[in-house]
Amino acid sequence: MMQGPGLEVGLEAGKAFLKERSPLGPLRIMFKHVGRFFQIPLFFFHPFLVAGPEAVRKVLVTEQQKVAWRNPDPVTDLLRQGVLVMDGEEHDRYRRLMEPAVARLALPGFSGLMLRQTERVMAQWQNGQTVDMLVEGRKIALLIVLEALFGVDGWDDLPRIWTPILKAIEYISPGAWIFWRKIPRLGYKKHLKTLDDYLYGIIRSRRAVAYPSNDLLQHLINAGLNDELIRDQMLTMLIAGHDTSTALLAWVFVLLGQNPATHARLVSELDAAEPDAPPRLLDDVIKESLRLYPPIHIGNRMVKEDIHFAGGIVPAGERLFYSIYLTQRDPQSWEQPDDFCPERFSQGFKQPPFAYIPFGGGPRACIGAAFGQAEARIVIASLLRSFTFEPSNAGAIHAHMGATLEPRPGVLMRVKRRGFVGK
Ligand code: HEM
């Protein structure tokens, strides 16, 4: 049954959209007035949206066999047979192949390169310069994924792949294609081919050497996958593994800029801590940033069999979103849900299961969750130990719904070298 908003709610949602310049505002209004189950009333597109721990548990765990990940969207055109857009046995096979390469056990092997790539990007900064942390974070995240997963030092490749990467992300981001799937997608072909050529080049070079490696690329090669399938998994991990971390890094700097007292306390706790034992507050800041601005703010499913939720039924054949953003700001699970309060995680507050889901959950939870969190800890600690960050545009930032939730127009920070030499 359709749960639509009334005229007043519609008007309030419209106002929120204009004020926040993001569909997140209207979604919050719908959530407040309509509830945890509604249909998004867009022209020619009426996906169902659910939020809240009970509904999320159904989508992710108890009734996950009733939904499919593979959808008719551009993400499927781009990633082809990539693990993210596959279902069933084929999905499970790719996932099993790649999981060990990014699992918790593999992480100690990455901390050195995570630090090194961060330092390399920082080394380009002039004292007193204003940098955009959305751009700098992306450089760091890309370099880390390329080296950790494919054994490639991407430094010299960045100029060649930068625009193609941004184009690939734009290609899969929400756009006019939502209303008209066949709309011509001009301006992508050349860039997507550059990206493909780049990945095929990496596969070729690796096949040509007896490389005693244990990285993700090698796992795929050793399993006997052909080049096309390897490209699909590589592109999936490259996009999913760096665009999310980019957004996380950028939001952390937005939030630190808006909360100078926490920022100052975090820097002094980092200075006092051993280099490889970051303070609890760093973890809490990362967690709170993931709660308020989850890089993946929504999970996208195609319904194969009717699903019954407390608010109504989503029939087979429909599109279903579960909202990570709304679930993590649900007042039934969180006190002062819209406030930045990193301490909530260390004050023993226990939110119900599935109230905090920045990495999804169940059998298709994020494969890189441990990797992404370790990366954020190492990168942010290193940045804050080396430079001071003074926000230049914190007030003007809005949450842009692209492939991830991104702070736009960017996160301008004036950086000054601290001269801190460590403990
Ligand atoms: C802060 C960093 C990250 C966040 C917030 C994040 C978030 C998520 C979320 C929410 C999902 C599930 C989406 C859904 O249920 O629809 C997911 C899946 C996935 N993530 Fe991440 N992710 C992060 C980092 C990474 C990294 C570093 C990698 C790779 C190295 C990665 C690779 C993937 C893949 C391949 C999937 C699909 C898994 C499957 O379907 O079996 N992610 N991620």
- The DSSP code sequence of 252-297 is HHHHHHH-HHHHHHHHHHHHHS-TTS--HHHHHHHHHHHHHS-SS-
The angle that helices 280-292 and 227-258 make with each other, rounded to 10 degrees, is 100
368 lines ligand 1 (CB under 6 A): yes
* Closest protein CA for atom 7 of ligand 1: 359
Q: Judging by DSSP bridges, how do beta strands 387-391 and 398-401 pair with one another?
A: unpaired
> In 6-104, which ranges are E strands?
37-39, 48-50, 67-68
Q: How far is the CA of 209 from the centre of ligand 1 (A)?
A: 31
Domains, the chain, ordered by start: 71-289+357-417 (1.10.630.10)
Question: Which backbone phi and psi does 413 adopt, to 5 degrees?
Answer: -135, 135
382 lines ligand 1 (CB under 6 A): no
b/e for 316-351, b at 16 or more Cβ within 10 A?
Answer: eebbbbbbbbbbbbbeebbeebeebbbebbeeeeeb
Helix (H, G, I), strand (E, B) or coil at 204: helix
Q: How far is the CA of 358 from the centre of ligand 1 (A)?
A: 9
Tokens of 413: 């920070």
Question: Which backbone phi and psi does 407 adopt, to 5 degrees?
Answer: -75, 115
244 lines ligand 1 (CB under 6 A): yes
Tokens of 103: 């699992």
399: left (phi over 0), alpha (psi -120 to 50) or beta: beta
pLDDT for 1 equals: 41
Helix (H, G, I), strand (E, B) or coil at 148: helix
Tokens of 315: 């029939």
Separation of first and last alpha carbons in the chain: 62
pLDDT for 223 equals: 96
pLDDT for 42 equals: 79
Nearest atom, ligand 1, residue 86 CA: 40
95 lines ligand 1 (CB under 6 A): yes
pLDDT for 211 equals: 66
pLDDT for 2 equals: 46
pLDDT for 423 equals: 47
Exposed / middle / buried, residue 47 (Cβ in 10 Å: 0-12, 13-18, 19+): middle
Model pTM?
Answer: 0.96
pLDDT for 401 equals: 93
Taking residue 253's Cβ as centre, other Cβ atoms within 10 Å add up to 28
User: How confident is the chain (423 residues) per 10-residue block, as mean pLDDT?
Assistant: 66 86 89 94 88 98 98 96 98 97 94 98 96 98 98 97 98 91 92 98 93 88 97 98 98 97 97 90 97 98 98 97 98 95 87 95 97 98 97 84 95 89 48
